Chain A
Amino acid sequence: MNDSATLEQRYRRLLRAYPRTYREQHGEELLSTLMEAADPETRRPAIREALPLLAGGFAAHARDARSRAPWWVDGLHLGVLAVATTTYAMKVDVLPHLIRPIWIALAILLLVALTRGWLRLALPLAIVAVVQASGLAARMGVPRFGPAYVETSNVVPHVVIVAGLAILAIGRRGKALPARSWLWLLIPVSCWMLQFVDFSFEEELPWLLFRSGVEVLALSAVLWATVAAKDARWSLAAAIYMIPGLAYLAENLPAHGRKGFAYWGLLTLLVVASAVAARRTRRRI
């Protein structure tokens, strides 16, 4: 194989960083430009070309992940979906016994409605959930089927979901939201499956480490996507996702050690950095 063919093959491999649809539309054009710009003697892609290609591929993925909705609608929807998914994934006892069948049915229906963007169904379900989770049901004389009220921070995620959906309902005038991938539902399903092996989300150290790793990676990806696609939607979603966690931290301050503060500080820093990046880059071409 001659130098040029080897180089072309290596560039083709690097171009896999881009989404398939992007490659189909622009792949040959990019390759042609890369080959024109390359030193004819070289067999390896230059670092100054390879790194921007990887970054460009990530930015193209980020741009592909956007819906056609305005950035704030997309961000709010994603944030509410992230809060609902993580809350119901870890706070609902599904297996091995159905302790609260109506509550579980409501959770599943709400998660499906949120994922598919059915705003008119999701908002009333979320209001029922907040009434049940806050202990208001007992005071209102409504039959109770939700979890027992423990502390304010347990109710915060449900309030965030209702508030987010209410803003979306007003802003969209009841119009449905763009549907999200069914993969979102894999998160609660996987967590509920773990309950089969009597797994406690509160105590298991490997779980805490796994969750921390996922959160740091996800929020770092949010920061990168915000900068790469010059778009604020993920930054808004991340800020909404942080509200329940920070409420929990505030309510249980004495129970958190130095590591806990450092961890929440890091997450907050990533979200603040994303917000600053979003503000600086949103109007910059």
Chain B
Amino acid sequence: MTEATYFILAALLEKPLHGYGIIKRAGEQSSGRMKLAVGTLYGALDRLAEAGLVVIDREEIVDGRARRYYRITEEGTAAVRAEAVRLQSAAAVVTSQIMVMGT
């Protein structure tokens, strides 16, 4: 899973969001590190929808333009959880050694 995909799925865990909502949430959750470009976001959303990890929740018209809200599916939640566990255990390899070394 790419870092962008991980933060997109993580952003949708709490509630369905529209495109700009995902960009803002991913930025907040990564302490400003993840600055998703719009082209990257929609490319990832297309792939995630194709894989069944996100679906369109609803559509609203704001200022005459369609605004789609995306919702994470059960498969999507399972995938991002599995990735979080993988990242946690990978991080533990280093953090446990640092604690032992006392640095």
Contact = CB atoms under 8 A, between A and B. Distances in A.
A32 B19 contact: yes
Contacts, number: 72
Nearest to A33: B19
A112 interface: no
A83 B14 CA distance: 51
Nearest to B44: A285
A65 to B, nearest CB: 14
A30 B18 CA distance: 11
A16 B19 CA distance: 19
Interface residues of A, number: 26
Interface in B9-68: 18-20, 23, 35, 37-43, 46-48, 51, 53, 62-63, 65-68
A53 B39 contact: yes
B42 A49 contact: no
Given A28-B66, A37-B20, A285-B79, A48 B35 contact: yes
Interface in A248-276: none
A284 interface: yes
Contacts of A228: 43
Nearest to B43: A56
B2 interface: yes
Contacts of A51: 37, 39
B77 interface: no
B1 interface: yes
B76 to A, nearest CB: 10
A29 B68 contact: yes
14 contacts: A29-B19, A29-B42, A30-B19, A32-B19, A32-B66, A33-B38, A48-B37, A49-B37, A49-B38, A49-B39, A53-B38, A56-B40, A285-B2, A285-B47
Given A28-B66, A48-B37, 6 more contacts: A26-B42, A32-B65, A33-B23, A34-B38, A52-B39, A53-B39
